[in-house]
Amino acid sequence: MAKVRLRDIPPNVLTEIRRFVRQYKGKIPVTGGGPTPSGEYVKNMQEIIKEKWGYELSPGQIFALQRPRPKKVSIPEDVAEWMEKEFGSVGDGVKRVTEIARIMSGKVPDRFRQAIASLGGRTVTYDEAVMELRMLGYDDPDEVLRELARLGFMANEAGKLKFYRYRRPPEFSILKFFGS
């Protein structure tokens, strides 16, 4: 079979090939391979792709599949100018704004999921919270408590720490203050 262009491969097959190539990057040689001194034969990625999917790809195409594909984002020009002025470049601005949006969305970072699952919905003293976090395997409970408070999963109420299962924006405490 003759070598093909990547755009001629059906998208679902190309996705499978891309996943395979990224998964075994550095573990299976792209070129080379062949018989070893012990007598066994080592296949390279070109041969495996040809056997498995029936496409003969060049080493350059395989290396291109190993690289992450850049995503294109369209934003208004005035927003791009603001990002350049505020963050130095549009790329840094997009990264920073997505980081802020991730924090605001309320999804618990993976490293705090165990703490939220254990403490969420409870009101405990500082010492109890520190002891529980240490039992869960956290080395620095103070850092965990600071982050949970910053993310809105914990509040200090009457000298005790109240933990929430879901994110509570700090604005709620201001509204509660003025509402009472």
For residue 82, what are the CA distances in angstroms to 10, 74, 79, 102? 40, 14, 5, 20
Gyration radius (Cα) of the chain, Å: 26
User: For 1-59, how does the pLDDT look when each residue is reduced to its tens digit (9 = 90+)?
Assistant: 567 898 999 999 999 999 999 999 888 888 887 777 887 888 889 999 999 999 999 99
The predicted structure's pLDDT at residue 1: 52
Q: What is the CATH number of domain 110-179?
A: 1.10.10
The predicted structure's pLDDT at residue 166: 79
Tell me where in the chain the CATH 1.10.10 domain(s) lie: 110-179
172 pLDDT tier (thresholds 50, 70, 90): low
152 pLDDT tier (thresholds 50, 70, 90): confident
> Read out DSSP for 35-51?
E-TTS-EEPPHHHHHHH
User: For 65-86, how does the pLDDT look when each residue is reduced to its tens digit (9 = 90+)?
Assistant: 998 888 787 888 998 999 899 9
Alpha-carbon 164 to chain mean position: 24
Percent of the chain with pLDDT over 90: 38
The predicted structure's pLDDT at residue 134: 93
